A and B are shown apart, each in its own frame.
Chain A
Amino acid sequence: MAELTYIAGYPESMRKDIEKVAKTREKRTSYTPAAMTMKERDEVLKIHPDYAPGGKREILVGPNKGDLAPNEVVDLLEAYPLIDQGEVDLSRIDHDPDILIIGGGLAGTTAALWANDCGVPVEKILLTNKLRHGDANSIMAEGGTQAADRQVDSIMKHYIDTIGGGHFANKPDVARTLVEDAPLIMKWLCELGAIFDREENGDLAEKLAGGLSVKRMHSCRDYTGLEEFRVLRDEFRTRQIPYLEHYPAIELLTEAGRVTGAVLWNLETGDYKIVRAKAIIIATGGYGRLHIRGFPTTNHYGATFDGVVLAYRAGAKLRDIDAVQYHPTGAAYPIQIVGYLLTEKLRGSGAQPVNADGEAFVYPLEPRDVEAASIIRECYVRNKGVTTPTGLRGVWLDTPLIEIKNGNGYIEKAFPGMIRMYKRYDIDIRKDPVLVFPTLHYQNGGIETDPDGRTNVEGLWVAGEVSGGVHGKNRLMGNSTLDCLVFGRKAGMSTAEYVKTQKGERKIALDHLKPYVQQLQAAGVKQTRRAPIILPDYRGKAVLARVIDVF
């Protein structure tokens, strides 16, 4: 391969395509393709990775036996535990809190704060993290948080947008809690000192996003999740709530069908800790790092589905686990940032998807699955995508349009993170478009809950992405950080009430594993498949071929 010549970050071959985008820009300033009809949506969705054949199979074991789920998900549900029953010494309890929270993103941290607010003393709470406190998808949420707090808006409108975006599969009472508590959460964040984008008069600045009927998206530049989280973590640390880092949970402990504790594993030294608790909140997030259907992901390193794996073995029911969210606009160039998130707020602020001929081919704010499927169709069916030097295809996201619509200097103010990410590769998103392709983004379904985050298993609550029901088959932008905050709070409050009523002695055991393992054996699952996987493996193949395990 000859050395490539780069002009302002792009190789010459792509420059020619960029010129086509620039040529049609003027015309496109006043033209937006019409939103699709429901019928057109159904048609394009056939090519969405969730509906294209070959991606799913039936689950053979557990509470959701017979349901369809992505192959990568089923692989982990149909997997043997990392520990055998006799292998772990349960006689020494290392921590004995009232509430154990597994996972310290927005949901887990919020749960800890509200449990404490509801009277659980800090020393009776323990938060454990797989990596550091806050290494979570929460802090990567760029675009915003929805809350119907303008007078032209209403919580009913928020509800309808949420349900429609979710293909009417959402659990109604849970979705109701999401929208009803949203303004309350915004007020709580403001009081804790989170800094949101404001209008001149001090009102919260709010924007449109995919599938929204009203401007309802609150943001903190393009660092919304980061700002929300670091404020909560600061409050958490200030209250001195106990927490562990680099201690993922590798199994739950149970007694006669209720969850009573967890086995934590020291990621660095390999030894374990036993925790007994009266209530457990799982807030471990989603599964982007499973790379479903071979897609790159926007997710953080630890997004490996652990929480669902553990809860499912303990008897927790799942729902909507077949529905995967692909974010329409992941980076497709340069190779170093493939799959990284380009926030929907870019389209909310006027950026248009544009094909290789410089044509705007889709309404920029369709719900995510429809928008993503349209981009795949443009690249692989209509063959109007742009191919990168490494063979990836994508379409342009015409970011310079944002400044034409909102004035010079707007991108720098609203998208400092995006500018920074591309500047490292000599690309100026104010002058040139960026190449995008859908990327694995969100676990739409998960562990089923009631409006308090309570599962069907006694003693077990869940909050955030790990849960299922609130978003139906497809989550809207701005409802994920909201989900974490609303149901983190609910779970914290609800467990605080529950633990006050729990006086008796509780045993800890791994008894629930035995029948599960029997089901696996009966289904003929290979003994070598084990879960949770905790972290993905990106080591080079040449090295792995020569590794010798000595220690």
Chain B
Amino acid sequence: MEENKSPIMERIAEANKAATTGIDAKDIKNWIKIYIMGKAYTVPADLTILTAMEYAGYKFVRGVGCRQGFCGACATVFRKKGDYKLLTGMACQTRAEDGMYLVQIPFSPAEKAEYDLTKEPYEASVLIKYYPEVVRCVSCNTCTKACPQDLEVMDYVQAAIRGAFDSLSETSFDCIQCGLCAIRCPAEIVQYNVAQLGRRMYGRYGQGVPDHLRKRVKEITEGKFNEDMDKIIKCSIEELRKIYTEREKEPE
């Protein structure tokens, strides 16, 4: 049996235990107290809101997704000890702190317009046509404060009103569509959907398909590479290995 073991793999698995299985209390030295929807729980100190809630016994089926800050599913509202402010963040990206009061937002209902991009002219008015409420923006900046990605949300809403597709795209690009801006907005704008339409307009019409890509697609469609590909997929592994090891590399 000894050959069928790898001490290195076992050491790696042991070191990573906290990230791969439920946490065992005996491995923990530092503890904090948090309040999940008002109920007090004692949890390990070095966790995110998401993993702290899991330690406390929650098995998530909502309000969770990628667990790494990309999907926007785990929007959360919290208050810190001794602070009157309601704060917002992603549960998977926010450190749990002693005395935190927290709640998950499992779902954000929001209006999304329907449009056919190919039929829309590249004109500033398109965003107001589909999302007229965008002009109700009172420039209060609440959206910006709510954004867990630290985007300048109000600035891109203003860009949307002006129909400035490029700056709207630039400013809103890192949006994960968690919905926290829309939930906090007193003008009831769905900022992230407005930005989505704006970015698609910019991508399709502002940037478009570059010539080199168009050319290559044409070459492929016309069958320019067919003969070479027919040959190469029939190569033996030895032949392929030779081509692979001898191939030239483009410098950095």
What residues make up the interface of A, taking CB atoms closer than 8 Å to B? 1, 38, 47, 49, 52-55, 131-132, 134-137, 139-140, 147-152, 154-157, 159-161, 163-164, 168, 172-173, 175-176, 180, 183-184, 186-187, 190-196, 198, 202-204, 208, 213-215, 220-221, 223, 225-227, 230-231, 234-235, 237-238, 240, 246, 267-268, 291, 293-298, 300-302, 334-341, 350, 376, 380-381, 390-393, 416-417, 420-421, 424-425, 535, 537-544, 547
B66 and A537 contact, CB distance less than 8 A: no
Most buried by B among A336, A337, A350: A336
B233 and A160 contact, CB distance less than 8 A: no
Contact with A221, one of B17, B51, B174 (Cβ below 8 angstroms): B174
CB interface residues, B 203-252, toward A, < 8 Å = 203-204, 207-217, 220-221, 225, 228-229, 232-234, 237, 240-241, 243-245, 247-250, 252
**If A140-B66, A155-B220 touch, does A193 touch B201 (CB 8 Å cutoff)?**
yes
B196 — nearest CB in chain A belongs to which residue? A234
A220 — nearest CB in chain B belongs to which residue? B173
B214 and A187 contact, CB distance less than 8 A: yes
A69 and B220 CA atoms in complex are apart in Å by 38
Q: Which residues of chain A come closer than 8 Å to B59, judged between CB atoms?
A: 535, 537-539
A53 and B69 contact, CB distance less than 8 A: no
Q: Which residues of chain A come closer than 8 Å to B18, judged between CB atoms?
A: 335, 338, 390
Q: Which residues of chain B come closer than 8 Å to A38, judged between CB atoms?
A: 241, 245
**If A53-B6, A301-B66 touch, does A538 touch B196 (CB 8 Å cutoff)?**
no
B54 and A55 contact, CB distance less than 8 A: no
Contact with B25, one of A148, A297, A541 (Cβ below 8 angstroms): A541
Q: Which residues of chain B come closer than 8 Å to A392, judged between CB atoms?
A: 15-16
B173 and A159 contact, CB distance less than 8 A: no
A169 — nearest CB in chain B belongs to which residue? B237
Q: Which residues of chain B come closer than 8 Å to A204, judged between CB atoms?
A: 210, 212-213
What are 30 A-to-B residue pairs whose CB atoms are below 8 Å? Answer: A131-B61, A135-B71, A154-B225, A155-B229, A180-B225, A183-B217, A184-B221, A186-B213, A192-B200, A195-B203, A203-B210, A203-B211, A208-B250, A225-B70, A230-B177, A234-B197, A293-B9, A294-B12, A294-B13, A295-B16, A298-B68, A301-B65, A341-B68, A376-B8, A416-B174, A420-B69, A420-B149, A538-B21, A539-B22, A543-B57
B66 and A300 contact, CB distance less than 8 A: yes
Contact with B6, one of A52, A225, A393 (Cβ below 8 angstroms): A52
Q: Which residues of chain A come closer than 8 Å to B48, judged between CB atoms?
A: 336
A172 and B60 CA atoms in complex are apart in Å by 41
A1 and B45 CA atoms in complex are apart in Å by 14
A18 and B11 CA atoms in complex are apart in Å by 24
A296 and B19 contact, CB distance less than 8 A: yes
B69 and A417 contact, CB distance less than 8 A: yes
**If A140-B70, A192-B117, A195-B199 touch, does A157 touch B247 (CB 8 Å cutoff)?**
yes
